[in-house]
């Protein structure tokens, strides 16, 4: 259980319990010499031990913990050896305080007395309680910590929550799972750890191909993933791109000084952009187009067009404001991100070269993290969830759907469509055309998501997703009256509420709620039903609330597909 769980802290063998520490000590001593002798097996030398004082529902100071340790002295013989770094035995003095409390944490620490006290030996450690121990066993999910992950996106889901959702979905090897809003694949990484066969859907092609959305968190991991995939590393691509830029991109001030160098480099770059002749084709493998830097002509062709698109002059090529034609990417020659903006500052040009190099290295797409961890990558479809591209199977084809839909706060919620109030656009090239997008309402998104789950899930299959909640609505607080300044219109969306254009309004102290709140209104699960979308073919299995900042929260919802009629 501890090897799989994320939230279990420890499994304890209870030695004694009571309403207070004194009562629990008396209970332990009263159990007699035979029981005491049995416990000496875990406490006597050469065994080492550590005693942890923990309180659930309240925070204890170090001074209070020392006083509690003094209370437990009677159960020891005095010859035990303490080791705080790598003990053989871990003992817990555990307090349980009321789960629901009217006391507000932002007003100060709780002062309640414990309801029950337990004392026992740790049989198995879970979560990351042993992470500070020298030889402590780390939790399995720490391997996927975001601080060490190769590629992240602006809304990558936190690692622990991703694995909690995977557990709620009963993820295991041999099952099929999908995230219809996969983004950079944070949830898919968690599912892949358990051996799930993965599918993903994403409307933004830039995210899938790694264009300008994701960013590199662990450069060493990106380079290692590139080497495994047979691609140029980010460092090599950047160095080569910088060298080509230096040789070919000239300004009025340096045109004369670099004319000779540029002539030779441009001749090569222009040749790379030209169509291959018959003699070129006959060269076959010898003409596999590797330059001295290890980059192919396809790379130089796309890069030369990219330089022109951002306003850099290349002899032999006319500058253009039109974006370069999109080249169908392969595993070895990804295309450059297109842009029509001319860099206003030298540092901006350097960043564009660096971004282009990272893209060419294959280091920013959704598959890099799977290569980093050696997990099976997903099959990702660039599609719109409002118009599902998946064929309906009578008995379903998925075992689980795990997703974090865009709320419209940090990530815009969009679907394919066109604003009727904007001018019509003539589509000249269907192959390179990217459809326009319009706002995707929360209710409509939830309706489409649950509809997809009802169609695609097998009987008993689970869907696990997050639902945004405005705590003002949850608690019955009139945010418009208490938070908005005079003259401001009432906020209609979560994003408008969280990021008002006219500046953040004064916070309502009633919405300054701790993540560890035990407010009865927030812990009453029956009240969650009003905020959870429903579907007649899906059964609600459970929901839990996570309090966020800014008066926002989100519900983790788990549903199961009801059996179909035979």
pTM score of the predicted model: 0.74
pLDDT of 123 reads 93
Torsions phi, psi for 500 (to 5 deg):
-65, 140
| DSSP code of residue 135 | T
Q: Residue 226 corresponds to which tokens in the numbers above?
A: 């590139």
Which residues lie across from 437 on neighbouring strands?
A: 416
Dump pLDDT digits (tens) for 334-380: 444 444 455 555 555 555 545 554 554 456 788 989 999 999 999 99
CATH architecture of the domain with range 10-125: 2-Layer Sandwich (3.30)
Distance of alpha carbon 378 from alpha carbon 197, whole angstroms: 7
Q: Strand 379-382 and strand 552-561: pairing?
A: unpaired
> Could you tell me whether strands 197-202 and 379-382 are parallel, antiparallel, or unpaired per DSSP bridges?
parallel
State residue 455's pLDDT score. 95
Contact in structure between 398 and 458 (CB atoms under 8 Å):
yes
Structure tokens at 466: 């997050």
Which residues fall within 8 angstroms of residue 374, CB to CB, at 6 or more apart?
none
Nearest Cα to Cα of residue 158 among 495, 429, 548: 548
Cα torsion 214, 220, 223, 227: sign = negative
Compute the C-alpha angle 389/390/396, nearest 5°.
160
CB 509 within 8 A of CB 421: no
CATH 3.40.50.150 residue ranges of the chain are 140-217+368-382
pLDDT tens digits, one per residue of 398-427:
999 999 998 766 677 888 888 778 777 788
The closest alpha carbon to 166, from 199, 184, 185, 188, belongs to: 188
Looking at residue 317, what DSSP letter applies?
B
Domain 140-217+368-382 sits in CATH 3.10.20.740: no
Q: What is the 3 state secondary structure string of 34-84?
A: HHHHHHHHHHCCCCEEEEEEEEECCCCCHHHHHHHHHHCHHHCCCCCEECC
How many residues make up the chain in this entry?
566
Mean pLDDT (10-residue bins), the chain, 566 residues: 87 95 94 92 93 88 94 92 90 88 68 90 77 62 89 89 96 96 93 96 86 79 82 60 51 39 37 37 34 41 54 50 43 44 53 51 77 93 89 93 84 79 80 80 90 96 94 79 46 59 62 81 90 95 90 94 91
Ramachandran bin of 57, using left for φ above 0, alpha for ψ from -120 to 50, beta for the remaining angles: left
Residue 235 has a pLDDT of 58
Residue 345's Cβ-count burial label (10 Å; 0-12, 13-18, 19+) is: exposed
Q: According to the model, what pLDDT value does residue 452 have?
A: 94
Give the residue range(s) of CATH 3.30.1330 domains in the chain.
10-125
What pLDDT shows up at residue 266? 38
**Pick from 510, 562, 233, 566: nearest CA to 371:** 233
Q: Tell me how crowded residue 231 is: count the other CB atoms within 10 A of its CB.
A: 22
The dihedral built from the CA positions of residue 126, 132, 138 and 139, taken in this order, carries a sign that is: positive
């Amino acid at each position: 259980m501890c090897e799989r769980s994320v939230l279990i802290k420890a499994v304890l063998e209870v030695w004694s319990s009571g309403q207070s520490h004194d009562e629990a000590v008396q209970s332990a001593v009263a159990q007699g010499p035979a029981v005491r002798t049995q416990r000496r097996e875990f406490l006597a030398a050469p065994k080492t031990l550590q005693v942890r004082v923990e309180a659930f529902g309240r925070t204890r100071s170090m001074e209070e913990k020392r006083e509690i340790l003094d209370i437990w002295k009677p159960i020891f013989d005095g010859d035990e050896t303490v080791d705080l770094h790598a003990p053989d035995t871990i003992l817990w003095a555990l307090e349980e305080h009321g789960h629901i409390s009217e006391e507000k944490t932002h007003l100060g620490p709780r002062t309640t007395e414990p309801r029950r006290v337990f004392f026992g030996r740790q049989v198995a450690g879970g979560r990351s309680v042993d992470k500070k121990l020298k030889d402590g066993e780390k939790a399995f999910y720490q391997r996927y910590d975001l601080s060490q992950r190769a590629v992240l996106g602006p809304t990558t889901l936190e690692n622990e929550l991703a694995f909690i959702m995977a557990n709620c979905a009963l993820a295991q090897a041999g099952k099929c799972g999908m995230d219809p809003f996969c983004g950079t694949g944070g949830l898919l990484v968690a599912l892949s750890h358990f051996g799930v066969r993965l599918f993903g859907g994403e409307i933004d092609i830039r995210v899938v191909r790694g264009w300008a959305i994701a960013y590199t968190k662990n450069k060493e991991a990106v380079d290692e993933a590139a080497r495994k995939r047979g691609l140029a590393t980010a460092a090599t691509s950047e160095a080569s791109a910088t060298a080509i830029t230096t040789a070919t991109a000239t300004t009025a001030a340096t045109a004369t000084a670099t004319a000779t160098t540029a002539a030779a480099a441009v001749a090569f770059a222009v040749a790379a952009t030209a169509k291959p002749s018959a003699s070129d084709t006959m060269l076959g493998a010898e003409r596999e187009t590797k330059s001295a830097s290890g980059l192919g002509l396809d790379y130089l062709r796309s890069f030369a067009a990219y330089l022109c698109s951002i306003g850099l002059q290349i002899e032999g090529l006319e500058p253009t404001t039109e974006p370069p034609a999109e080249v169908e990417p392969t595993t070895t020659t990804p295309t450059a991100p297109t842009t029509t903006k001319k860099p206003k500052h030298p540092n901006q040009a350097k960043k564009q070269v660096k971004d282009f190099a990272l893209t060419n290295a294959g280091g920013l797409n959704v598959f890099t993290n799977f290569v980093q961890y050696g997990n099976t990558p997903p099959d990702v479809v660039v599609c719109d969830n409002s118009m599902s591209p998946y064929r309906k199977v009578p008995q379903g084809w998925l075992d689980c759907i795990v997703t974090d839909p865009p709320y419209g706060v940090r990530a815009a919620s969009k679907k394919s469509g066109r604003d009727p109030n904007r001018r019509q656009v003539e589509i000249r090239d269907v192959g390179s055309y990217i459809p326009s997008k319009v706002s995707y309402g929360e209710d409509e998104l939830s309706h489409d998501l649950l509809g997809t789950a009802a169609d695609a899930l097998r009987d008993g299959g689970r869907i696990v997703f997050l639902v945004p909640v405005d705590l003002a609505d949850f608690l019955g607080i009139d945010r418009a009256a208490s938070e908005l300044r005079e003259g401001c219109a009432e906020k209609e969306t979560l994003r408008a509420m969280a990021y008002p254009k006219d500046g953040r309004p004064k916070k309502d102290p009633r919405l300054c709620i701790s993540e560890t709140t035990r407010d009865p209104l927030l812990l009453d699960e029956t009240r969650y039903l009003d905020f959870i979308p429903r579907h007649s073919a899906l059964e609600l299995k459970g929901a839990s609330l996570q309090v966020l900042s800014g008066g926002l929260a989100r519900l983790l919802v788990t549903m199961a597909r009801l059996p179909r009629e035979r």
